[in-house]
């Protein structure tokens, strides 16, 4: 369903760190373990993303973290060409996708679409997670990237 | 709705002003000085003494705070100050709304809505440096190279174009109309620089689907509007522009992080328009000229649809260059040049241009304007929108 790599797609950008209030630490611990975790309400059982201290549907504060299938569908995309960070100056175009997770109430996640940066992108295409490990971070971290799922 | 709970007819904009508009980083003045100069210019336009000011409203975390402004201006009383929180310039019409609300409630008499930007002093929006770790919502976007405003809204525009089968024609027409209008505007940063269809089509990608000319400028300068009671306004030398309605607009989870707003394919104006037109007592057909905030052209297309000026189906027929021109178009748009070609003053320039149209003082004056609309901040978590009119428009 997913694979992992230690090759950085966009090296040199600012790294993520868990929020200092503890809100999303389970997500980042999950990616290190190559699991895709999102919030899940113990009371009304909806999935929630991005993370918040309260369930937006029922206002319960009893939220768990659950592991969901690391697969989704492309909901939208863009291809930046203009470098807005010095680490991107010589990078050329790259693709950012917004991926909908059908197994988690269609919540959406942002990541890069790996592969040819000039590939044609199809909204609705099935994609699966590539966990991108950074073992030289402070702290170490793992990003959630995406690639088009090969037709089986 | 009871008239007691409506600002229509009670509040007027009596003065507008701005500094010279500079390319980003080019202001010879510090940002605070720019704001003071804009306030003095607006007071001069209104014919009022700056010391009559007793309130301030701004947005987007403006750095020039009311206590310091009141101190510099030597105000005897500071009765009201207000900051509207949203990203980008989504609060430009909200600052007018908040000023109008404060005056209607009797909290202040003469309120300034203002915005100042000096990016040489404080750094640019469209570039992101740094190497420190990021946390919170940005941790889920920035490490993937999604960090500029263009990148946040390109994603939404792709989905809009996909869901509604909308192509580039309207986006191109909007950019061309803005540049066209800037040619008659001596304040405009792009005065003297024209834009034709071929130049638009050949311009480089910023982030697909946005080309260079789909994107707003970044500028230095400041702008201010003087807002007061309509009975006070009638004593002043110039004709007032009445505030017919003004509304902020955030929807269900529009502030959700990581692009998870419930209604994603929106300019964020859907919640506001019913309140706006009801307050103002007008319909889209009554609006003579429109100033629609261009952070990016795709957002303008959505804004015009959601304000009722066209539909998803007839975008390409209504939003043509000829139709958007002040000289002869049926839907004159961004008649100062707007954020694309006059100045990116976080949208306060568009509110000011609506006032100038109502007063008959625009450099691209539309004939017989009675009602003008100016919105702010499409696609942000909370947008805002306002309608101005002549005293006759009150009926
Ligand atoms: Zn719940």
Digit-coded pLDDT (tens) for B207-230: 999 999 999 989 999 999 999 999
Digit-coded pLDDT (tens) for B119-150: 878 777 666 667 789 999 999 999 999 999 99
* pLDDT at res. B119: 84
B341's tokens: 């070609």
In a domain, B9, yes or no: yes
Compute the distance from residue A62 Cα to the ligand 1 centre, in Å. 8
pLDDT of B75 strictly over 80:
yes
Rounded Cα–Cα distance for residues B183 and B204 (Å): 23
| B30 CA: distance to closest CA in chain A (Å) | 25
pLDDT of A3 strictly over 50:
yes
* pLDDT at res. B3: 59
Closest CA to A76 of A105, A98, A96: A98
pLDDT of B288 strictly over 90:
yes
The DSSP letter of residue B326 is T
- Specify whether the CB–CB gap between B96 and B41 falls below 8 A: no
* pLDDT at res. B127: 66
Contact with chain B for residue A109, Cβ under 8 A: yes
C-alpha count within 13 angstroms, C-beta hemisphere, residue B362:
34
In a domain, B237, yes or no: yes
Residue A110 to residues A24, A131, B1, Cα–Cα distance (Å):
16, 13, 43
**Residue B192 pLDDT level (bands cut at 50, 70, 90):** very high
- Specify whether the CB–CB gap between A76 and B158 falls below 8 A: yes
Site from B140, B154, B261 to mutate, A interface, most A CB atoms within 10 angstroms = B140
Contacts of B141 in chain A (CB under 8 A): 110
Q: What is the ipTM of this complex?
A: 0.98
3-state secondary structure of A18: coil
Do A96 and B151 make contact, defined as CB atoms within 8 angstroms? yes
DSSP string, B226-255: EEEEHHHHTTSSSPPEEEEEEEEE--TTTT
Compute the distance from residue A35 Cα to the ligand 1 centre, in Å. 23
- Give the number of domains in chain B: 1
In a domain, B68, yes or no: yes
For residue B312, which phi and psi values (nearest 5 degrees)? -60, -30
Which range of residues forms the domain containing residue B44?
3-122+215-390
- Specify whether the CB–CB gap between B163 and B172 falls below 8 A: no
Digit-coded pLDDT (tens) for B235-247: 998 999 999 999 9
Do B127 and A85 make contact, defined as CB atoms within 8 angstroms? yes
DSSP H/E element including A108:
strand A107-112
Site from A12, A21, A76 to mutate, B interface, most B CB atoms within 10 angstroms = A76
Q: How many CB atoms lie within 10 A of CB A25?
A: 15
Report how far Cα B219 is from the mean position of its chain's Cα atoms. 14
Do A94 and B154 make contact, defined as CB atoms within 8 angstroms? no
* pLDDT at res. B34: 98
Q: For residue B112, what is the domain's CATH number?
A: 3.40.47.10
3-state secondary structure of A47: strand
- Specify whether the CB–CB gap between B221 and B34 falls below 8 A: yes
pLDDT of B178 strictly over 80:
yes
In a domain, B271, yes or no: yes
Considering only residues 34 to 53 of chain A, which have any Cβ-Cβ distance to chain B shorter than 8 Å?
49-51
B242's tokens: 């009445």
* pLDDT at res. B378: 96
* pLDDT at res. B1: 46
In a domain, B49, yes or no: yes
pTM of the model: 0.96
The active-site residue, picked from B21, B59, B210, B344, is B344
In a domain, B130, yes or no: no
Q: What is the mean pLDDT of residues B317-343?
A: 97
Digit-coded pLDDT (tens) for A68-81: 999 999 999 999 99
Task: List beta partners, residue A74.
Answer: A99
In a domain, B179, yes or no: no
Cα nearest neighbour of B128 on chain A: A85
- Whole-number average pLDDT of chain B: 95
The DSSP letter of residue A113 is B
Rounded Cα–Cα distance for residues B337 and B347 (Å): 11
pLDDT of A122 strictly over 70:
yes
Q: What is the mean pLDDT of residues B349-363?
A: 98
Rounded Cα–Cα distance for residues B143 and B327 (Å): 47
Weakest-pLDDT range from A135-139, B108-112, B358-362, B369-373 = A135-139
Contact with chain B for residue A13, Cβ under 8 A: yes
For residue B206, which phi and psi values (nearest 5 degrees)? -90, -60
* pLDDT at res. B299: 97
Residue owning tokens 């070609």: B341
In a domain, B353, yes or no: yes
Active site residue B293: yes
Digit-coded pLDDT (tens) for B260-275: 999 999 999 999 999 9
Closest CA to B277 of B393, B385, B382: B385
């Amino acid at each position: 369903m997913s694979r992992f790599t230690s090759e950085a797609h966009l090296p040199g950008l600012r790294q993520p760190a868990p929020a200092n209030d503890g809100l999303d630490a389970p997500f980042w611990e999950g990616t290190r373990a190559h699991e895709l975790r999102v919030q899940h309400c113990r009371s009304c059982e909806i999935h929630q993303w991005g993370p918040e201290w309260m369930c937006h549907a029922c206002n319960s504060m009893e939220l768990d973290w659950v592991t969901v299938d690391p697969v989704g569908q492309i909901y939208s995309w863009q291809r930046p060409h203009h470098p807005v960070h010095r680490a991107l100056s010589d990078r050329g175009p790259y693709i950012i996708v917004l991926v909908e997770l059908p197994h988690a109430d269609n919540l959406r996640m942002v990541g890069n679409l790996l592969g040819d940066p000039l590939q044609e992108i199809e909204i609705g295409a099935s994609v699966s997670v590539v966990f991108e490990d950074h073992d030289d971070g402070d702290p170490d971290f793992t990003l959630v990237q995406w690639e088009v799922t090969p037709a089986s | 709705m009871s008239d007691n709970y409506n600002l229509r007819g009670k509040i007027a904009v009596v003065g507008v002003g701005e500094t010279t508009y500079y390319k980003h980083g080019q202001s010879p003045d510090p940002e605070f000085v720019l704001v003071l100069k804009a306030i003095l210019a607006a007071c001069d336009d209104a014919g009022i003494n700056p010391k009559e000011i007793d309130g301030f409203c701004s947005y987007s975390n403006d750095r020039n705070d009311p206590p310091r402004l009141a101190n510099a201006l030597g105000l005897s009383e500071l009765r009201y100050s207000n900051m509207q929180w949203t990203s980008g310039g989504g609060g430009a019409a909200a600052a007018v709304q908040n000023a109008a609300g404060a005056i209607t409630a009797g909290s202040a008499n003469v309120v300034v809505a203002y915005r100042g930007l000096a990016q040489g002093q404080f750094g640019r929006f469209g570039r992101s440096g740094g190497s420190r770790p990021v946390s919170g919502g940005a941790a889920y976007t920035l490490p993937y190279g999604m960090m500029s405003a263009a990148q946040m809204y390109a994603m939404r525009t792709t989905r809009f174009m996909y869901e509604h089968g909308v192509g580039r024609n309207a986006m191109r027409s909007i950019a061309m109309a803005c540049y066209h209008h800037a040619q008659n505007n001596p304040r405009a940063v792009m005065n003297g620089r024209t834009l034709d269809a071929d130049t638009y089509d050949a311009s480089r990608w910023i982030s697909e689907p946005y080309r260079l000319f789909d994107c707003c400028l970044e500028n230095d300068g400041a702008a201010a509007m003087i807002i007061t009671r309509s009975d006070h306004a009638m004593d002043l030398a110039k004709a007032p522009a009445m505030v017919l309605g003004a509304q902020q607009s955030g929807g269900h989870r529009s502030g959700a992080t990581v692009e998870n707003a419930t209604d994603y394919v929106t300019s964020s104006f859907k919640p506001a328009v019913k309140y706006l037109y009801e307050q103002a007592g007008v319909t889209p057909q009554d609006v003579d000229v429109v100033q629609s905030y261009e952070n990016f052209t795709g957002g303008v297309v959505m804004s015009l649809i959601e304000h009722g000026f066209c539909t998803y189906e007839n975008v390409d027929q209504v939003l043509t260059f000829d139709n958007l021109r002040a000289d002869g178009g049926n839907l004159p748009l961004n008649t100062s040049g707007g954020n694309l070609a006059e100045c990116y003053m976080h949208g306060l320039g568009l509110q000011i241009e609506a006032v100038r149209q109502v007063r008959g003082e625009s450099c691209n004056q539309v004939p017989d304007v009675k009602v003008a609309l100016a919105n702010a901040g499409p696609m942000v978590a909370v947008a805002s929108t306002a309608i101005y009119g002549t005293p006759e428009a009150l009926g």
